[in-house]
Amino acid sequence: MKATTLLKKDHAVVKKLFRAYEKADKSDATAQKKAIFDQIAAELDVHMKVEEEILYPALKKESDQDGVDKLLEAHEEHGVVKTLLAQLAKMKPGDETFDAKVAVVIESVEHHVGEEEEEMFPDADETLGLKKLQELGERIEHRKSELFAAR
């Protein structure tokens, strides 16, 4: 599978989890919120790692300055999400700022995913070509199973 297709599937999984989290939040299902949050954190952690290890560097090699700037910004957006996830990992859903932090994770990731799907991935599809995208897709798939197994 093309790397960009595979990563878009990850995005869809995470968005579904976001909606499930919001639903659990509305009905004050604290235990469920924690379980869904743990899944969100795992998916995001693995997804950001494979993008940073595999897609972003491959794309960077082929990018002009504008493309490199976009990649650097995307990297920083991952950093913001990682910081929040690290804080949330030490908290409980009942803590005062838990929901606020999760809300910012959701907003940040949705903004970031929008830019990836509307700008970065179409650029990658055009620049890297089908053969390279499929090769990167295989590497991503393999790395994802390693990372999930190590969690």
Q: Could you say whether residue 123 binds Fe ion (CB under 5 A)?
A: no
Q: Which is nearer to Fe ion, 25 or 51 (CB)?
A: 51
Shortest separation between residue 51's beta carbon and Fe ion, angstroms:
5
Residues in contact with 136: Cβ distance below 8 Å, sequence separation at least 6, in sequence order: 3, 54, 55, 58, 128
Q: Compute the least distance from the CB of residue 116 to Fe ion, in Å.
A: 5
Which residues in the 1-40 window bind Fe ion by CB under 5 A? Answer: none
How many other CB atoms are there within 10 angstroms of residue 87's CB atom?
A: 12
Which range in 27-35, 44-52, 64-72, 80-88 contacts Fe ion by CB under 5 A?
44-52
Give the nearer residue to Fe ion in terms of CB position, either 25 or 116. Answer: 116
Among 51, 55, 59, 105, indicate the residue that binds Fe ion (CB under 5 A).
51
Judged by beta carbon, residue 10 or residue 25, the one nearer Fe ion is: 10
Of 58, 52, 38, whose CA–CA distance to 105 is shortest? Answer: 38
Between CA 54 and CA 144 the distance in angstroms is: 11
Nearest to 47 by CA among 81, 87, 84, 91: 81
Q: How far is the CB of 67 from Fe ion (least distance, A)?
A: 14
Residue 57: how many other CB atoms lie within 10 Å: 12
Q: By the criterion CB under 5 A, which residues form the site for Fe ion?
A: 51, 116
